[in-house]
Structure 1
Amino acid sequence: MKFFLLLSLIGFCWAQYDPQTQYGRTAIVHLFEWRWVDIAKECERYLAPKGFGGVQVRIYVDAVINHMCGAGGGAGTSSTCGSYYNANNRDFPSVPYSGWDFNDGKCNGEISNYNDANQVRNCRLSGLLDLALEKDYVRSKVAEYMNRLIDIGVAGFRLDAAKHMWPGDIKAVLDKLHNLNTKWFSQGSRPFIFQEVIDLGGEAIKSSEYFGNGRVTEFKYGAKLGTVIRKWNGEKMAYLKMYKMAVGFMLAHPYGFTRVMSSYRWARNFQNGKDVNDWIGPPNNNGVTKEVTINPDTTCGNDWVCEHRWRQIRNMVAFRNVVSGQPFSNWWDNGSNQVAFGRGNRGFIVFNNDDWSLSTTLQTGLPAGTYCDVISGDKVDGNCTGIKVNVGNDGNAHFSISNSAEDPFIAIHAESKL
């Protein structure tokens, strides 16, 4: 079995840049491939009480507007809603789209050169029929779909495969969108937009080209942070303590608007070094997505991983809420792989990613007192189930972290004070 792990951060760039979360909530969770009914349950039983944003209730739709199905998808009524289509004839009568609404005439077929922006934006991505978004009719049909969702209460959209659409075409669609429904949002609120633009450098298309339309998922952040956590040796981030440290760093640092991944497991089948099952979708019974069940220990069953329920991650979401608006401060490092930093006088975090123990006294910037480390435990009824950290009148505290610890990092904040 394999964990599907993703670390992503939504980069900064303003109305459609506002995630419309409740005040004081600073991170959202991507419940990857969850059923709507399970999302609704999780919002009420876990996400809202634990301080996640996008709750009570905020939904951001994963909008696939670059393309329809595969060119060889055949014909029938096996679409999501059971409507008839014929991919071979480019006939989608329920929209309706016809052959005139696709980019078939612009390319020989598949994208073969990612250094050619015209190919990337006009040709087929993995054989998927590419919509001609420069046509006002197509733009209007896409906007009609998105407006229906806005009118029933969604807060915004993740634009899938935004890299494969011209920024101007995206803007033209967004300009047609309604304001958010005033039943749930303040007058004049705009839908939150964040775009999937994979830009790791070395290609023709840059994520910065899309900043004018909304926020953009910053893939470089996760890639570079992963490299640092792996200590530059190319090792895969297979160890969970590395992953938890990386997510902890992301949630503690003030950069961007954060999104936590919640994923699923699948059966791996490696052949010649490649997992030939890497295409497999969510846990299912004969194609029907499984329910997200909750175990007595609050973890998830049915092969759902639910990283957002891990103590280390959900407590760092709370940390980010507590330190929101505070400056980055009191940086320390040992010249190797031990680092620490604070967030004003509201929080402090220390990491030991070296192959030896950390034992040092650091300036935290926090008021004097005893604090509960929210990585190793929880503050419960005024007591701490994990490590206690004593901060002196001068703001200094001594930290000891073994390199063999299950979670070699410590985080304390104003609301974890005992």
Structure 2
Amino acid sequence: MQNHNNPLLPRLCHWLAGALSITLLSISGAFAQPAPGDTFVHLFEWRWSDIATECEQHLGPKGYAGIQVSPPQEHIQGDAWWTRYQPVSFTIDNSRSGTRAEFIDMVQRCDAAGVDIYVDAVINHTAAGSGVGTNGSNYSYGTSYPEFSTNDFHAPCDISGSDYASNAWAVRNCRLVGLPDLDTGAEYVRQTLANYLNDLINIGVKGFRLDASKHMSPTDINAITSRLNGNPYIFQEVIDLGGEAVSAGEYLSGGDVTEFRYSAELGNQFKNGQLNWLQNFGESWGFISGGSAVVFTDNHDNQRGHGAGGSNVLTYKDGSLYDLSNVFMLAWPYGYPKVMSSFDFSDSEAGPPSAPVHNNGNLNCYGSDWKCEHRWRPIANMVAFRSAVGDQPVNNWWDNGSNQIAFGRGDAGFVIINREGNQLTRTFSTNLPEGEYCNVIDGDFDNGSCSGEILWVNAQGQVDVSLDGMTAAAIHRDARVGTDPEPEPEPEPDTINANSICLSNQTGYSNPHIYYWSPSPSGALASTTWPGEAMTAQGDYHCFDPGVALSSLNIVFNDNGGAQTSDLTYTGDGCYSNGQWQSLEQCGFTVDDGTQTSPSPSESTYVCYDNANGFSNPHMHFWNASPSGVLADSNWPGVVLEANNGFYCYDTGAELTDLNVVFNDNGGAQTADLTMTGGNTCYQNGQWTALSNCGVSAP
């Protein structure tokens, strides 16, 4: 009998949501932590192929840091959304979202777009009933699964409603709505679950939401996560509204924790309370520390009336009120915010639409299938606002004593929210620099221009705003348009070696490299293999020091083998900007000799040979320079030597203490292998001596 016909399901479907809410856990000290300005999104029940496309087309460009994806393991068959939360096996070959190959493709494409994948990991229990899973595996209630059998579960007992108030042991060891409870204290179970998570990590998954963490001992969770490879981000789902036997605070040693009180109280204030009460929203309201909290306006459980929050929870069905609550969440400095992306539903147990989100080039959002709240302008554009303000503190708070509020985030952003029906017109004080800013709630900012309202901040930091009822405005330093009448002072120029070759960051390369060949003087620098050498960040540029003075060099700048420039030729001007070569000084650098891009030869850089062998075309081949790395080995027969007062010389451009040398006649007759040591750089009468003893001066 298929599981979706199991008689346990009527009560499973009403209890499962509240018990299995989604969270992102991050373990203090041992596991990764999000940056202060990060935001992630829950693409609930999306297909792997849709998520990959969404990373490339929207999430990456908009700056989302991560995605919570639905549980990828094999699950019971059926149409309801909660079938994903009943594991049959811990393989990811086939689930409702797609195949293992599609999952791997999604992870790789999202990573390339700069977006991390967080897997919703269901490790507390297995499926109820008996049947065949989505990958063809047989299972039988509490006794037989591909990885587990009877002895791998806690002794049968069921959690009763009264246990939540007084019996933590039962909450953590008995069956949640009849689901077989894995014995997470057993070594075999712990290792099997860790193997599943490590398989995902090896694919490239960057984090996990640990489902139903409240129903596992913190000790057991930590014993499992301590076996994980690398340092994934981890957050634990613990529903805690206070007054229960199990509290969120018990899990803080093991990572971040979902703060359900945030969702309940935020919805209550926007629906029933006053926004001016939000001035100290956070720990003083009894919440856990913001640095350990995952927060959301709604999640897949409580938007269906299950879990915490009840009728106070705001969802996509609340329209502009939902917009405003998300604007506040993304502007307010508490927790790691998760944006919900839903599908349309009237039946709280219905599964996802059959049509994909990305359907043959058409976006299936906003209608009766997928709601795509993460794409709504007031939400999507506030992701960049949060990134811009980072961890800057709240300042310049203003309210009208009721439901009109405004506040700044340091000198990086300012937001105004009008939750009343009447218009709000006022001059606000900000800490933003003078200039024009895009109101990102009203329009999109792109390449310096704004498709909506532009707000002017004057020299005193004041901005005039007029807002209709139930709307908001937000400006930030990364959405600045027009010309700043008082530009910020230019930073002091970087001091750089005169031989350096620099590339302007206008290319947009994330990992700039320099590939080069055919140096002049010939042999002065060994050619590289593709994609060349990594370049070092220097202010608004990336630079490479070849360690030798060059008169010319063929170059291709590239993004670690990806995007690349055309073939370029360096001829002495070392800065490539706006499609042309300029001097390092023209790009704002201070060159370390103060006057020129090539240092003057000196007694420790200038190597000379008396040509006692009578070579017609003297060359010098060299290798093993000391200090190591200051001079690349030459290619045979080496560099051409230039006549100087009866000697033949070459400026290495590097301060040397030792160098292996062979003087030769352009690859023909040659000396023995010679070793220049101690700063004696002139070879005369079969021995090395100081340059001054040869009567030669560096030019």
The separation in 2 between residues aligned to 1:35 and 1:16, in whole angstroms, is 31
For 2:216, the equivalent position in structure 1 comes to: 165
The separation in 2 between residues aligned to 1:225 and 1:41, in whole angstroms, is 32
CA positional deviation for 1:389: 1.4
Q: Secondary structure at the match of 2:385?
A: helix
For 1:182, the equivalent position in structure 2 comes to: none
Q: Secondary structure at the match of 1:68?
A: coil
| 1:227 aligns to 2:268 (yes or no) | yes
C-alpha contact 1:15 1:191 (8 A) present in aligned 2:
no
For 1:118, the equivalent position in structure 2 comes to: 169
CA positional deviation for 1:104: 2.9
Please show how residues 34-73 of structure 1 align to structure 2 within 5 Å: 34-54=46-66, 55-56=110-111, 57-70=115-128, 73=129
Structure 2 unaligned spans of 5+: 1-16, 67-109, 275-310, 482-699
Letter of the 1:91 counterpart: S
CA positional deviation for 1:211: 0.6
The separation in 1 between residues aligned to 2:401 and 2:480, in whole angstroms, is 30
Letter of the 1:41 counterpart: T
The separation in 2 between residues aligned to 1:219 and 1:34, in whole angstroms, is 23
For 2:144, the equivalent position in structure 1 comes to: 91
CA positional deviation for 1:303: 0.5
TM-score by length of 1: 0.83
1:30-60 CA distance string (max 9 Å, x none): 1111111111111112111111112524211
C-alpha contact 2:24 2:118 (8 A) present in aligned 1:
no
Structure 1's 227 and 9: CA in aligned 2 closer, same or farther, altered over 3 A? farther
For 1:199, the equivalent position in structure 2 comes to: 240
Letter of the 2:475 counterpart: I
Q: Please, which of 424, 429, 438 is the counterpart of residue 358 of structure 1?
A: 424
1:237-268 CA distance string (max 9 Å, x none): 342111111111111112121111111112x2
For 1:274, the equivalent position in structure 2 comes to: none
C-alpha contact 2:37 2:389 (8 A) present in aligned 1:
no
C-alpha contact 1:359 1:399 (8 A) present in aligned 2:
yes
For 1:369, the equivalent position in structure 2 comes to: 435
Structure 1's 150 and 8: CA in aligned 2 closer, same or farther, altered over 3 A? closer
The separation in 1 between residues aligned to 2:363 and 2:153, in whole angstroms, is 50
Structure 1's 296 and 101: CA in aligned 2 closer, same or farther, altered over 3 A? closer
C-alpha contact 1:10 1:259 (8 A) present in aligned 2:
no
C-alpha contact 1:8 1:221 (8 A) present in aligned 2:
no
Please show how residues 382-401 of structure 1 align to structure 2 within 5 Å: 382-401=448-467
Q: Please, which of 217, 239, 247 is the counterpart of residue 326 of structure 2?
A: 247
CA positional deviation for 1:387: 2.0
| 1:265 aligns to 2:355 (yes or no) | no
For 2:475, the equivalent position in structure 1 comes to: 412
1:186-221 CA distance string (max 9 Å, x none): xxxx11101111111232211111111000111111
Q: Secondary structure at the match of 2:348?
A: coil
Structure 1's 378 and 155: CA in aligned 2 closer, same or farther, altered over 3 A? same
For 2:352, the equivalent position in structure 1 comes to: 282
Letter of the 1:217 counterpart: T
CA positional deviation for 1:18: 2.3
Report % sequence identity: 46
C-alpha contact 2:26 2:32 (8 A) present in aligned 1:
no
Please show how residues 133-148 of structure 1 align to structure 2 within 5 Å: 133-148=184-199
| 1:304 aligns to 2:374 (yes or no) | no
CA positional deviation for 1:80: 2.9
1:370-399 CA distance string (max 9 Å, x none): 211100112345443222212111001122
For 1:18, the equivalent position in structure 2 comes to: 32
Letter of the 1:361 counterpart: T
Aligned-residue CA RMSD in angstroms? 2.5
Structure 1's 223 and 309: CA in aligned 2 closer, same or farther, altered over 3 A? same
The separation in 2 between residues aligned to 1:11 and 1:226, in whole angstroms, is 23
CA positional deviation for 1:299: 3.7
The separation in 1 between residues aligned to 2:391 and 2:37, in whole angstroms, is 11
CA positional deviation for 1:110: 3.9
CA positional deviation for 1:67: 0.3
TM-score by length of 2: 0.51
Q: Please, which of 194, 202, 227 is the counterpart of residue 151 of structure 1?
A: 202
Letter of the 1:131 counterpart: L
CA positional deviation for 1:158: 0.5
The separation in 2 between residues aligned to 1:156 and 1:207, in whole angstroms, is 19
Q: Secondary structure at the match of 2:192?
A: helix
The separation in 1 between residues aligned to 2:28 and 2:271, in whole angstroms, is 34
Q: Secondary structure at the match of 1:361?
A: strand
C-alpha contact 2:122 2:211 (8 A) present in aligned 1:
yes
The separation in 1 between residues aligned to 2:348 and 2:31, in whole angstroms, is 33
CA positional deviation for 1:9: 8.7
- When structure 1 is superposed on structure 2, of 109-118 and 46-55 the one drifting more is 109-118
C-alpha contact 2:25 2:209 (8 A) present in aligned 1:
no
Letter of the 1:248 counterpart: V
The separation in 2 between residues aligned to 1:227 and 1:394, in whole angstroms, is 36
Q: Please, which of 202, 206, 213 is the counterpart of residue 254 of structure 2?
A: 213
Structure 1's 153 and 379: CA in aligned 2 closer, same or farther, altered over 3 A? closer
The separation in 2 between residues aligned to 1:67 and 1:9, in whole angstroms, is 16
Structure 1's 330 and 298: CA in aligned 2 closer, same or farther, altered over 3 A? farther
The separation in 2 between residues aligned to 1:362 and 1:12, in whole angstroms, is 38
For 2:229, the equivalent position in structure 1 comes to: 178
The separation in 2 between residues aligned to 1:207 and 1:200, in whole angstroms, is 9
The separation in 2 between residues aligned to 1:338 and 1:253, in whole angstroms, is 15
C-alpha contact 1:341 1:349 (8 A) present in aligned 2:
yes
Q: Please, which of 370, 379, 384 is the counterpart of residue 318 of structure 1?
A: 384
CA positional deviation for 1:24: 8.7
Structure 1's 323 and 301: CA in aligned 2 closer, same or farther, altered over 3 A? same
C-alpha contact 2:210 2:234 (8 A) present in aligned 1:
yes
CA positional deviation for 1:412: 0.5
Q: Please, which of 328, 347, 352 is the counterpart of residue 413 of structure 2?
A: 347
For 2:356, the equivalent position in structure 1 comes to: 291
Structure 1's 302 and 44: CA in aligned 2 closer, same or farther, altered over 3 A? farther
For 1:184, the equivalent position in structure 2 comes to: none
Q: Secondary structure at the match of 2:370?
A: coil
Letter of the 1:18 counterpart: A
Q: Secondary structure at the match of 2:161?
A: coil
The separation in 1 between residues aligned to 2:229 and 2:206, in whole angstroms, is 11
The separation in 2 between residues aligned to 1:297 and 1:98, in whole angstroms, is 44
CA positional deviation for 1:359: 1.6
Q: Secondary structure at the match of 1:49?
A: helix
CA positional deviation for 1:13: 7.5
Count matched residues: 375
For 1:273, the equivalent position in structure 2 comes to: none
C-alpha contact 1:298 1:309 (8 A) present in aligned 2:
no
Structure 1's 9 and 247: CA in aligned 2 closer, same or farther, altered over 3 A? farther
Structure 1's 236 and 19: CA in aligned 2 closer, same or farther, altered over 3 A? closer
The separation in 2 between residues aligned to 1:261 and 1:389, in whole angstroms, is 29
C-alpha contact 2:438 2:452 (8 A) present in aligned 1:
yes
1:123-171 CA distance string (max 9 Å, x none): 2112211111111121111111111111221111100011111111101
| 1:79 aligns to 2:133 (yes or no) | yes
Larger radius of gyration: 2
For 2:656, the equivalent position in structure 1 comes to: none
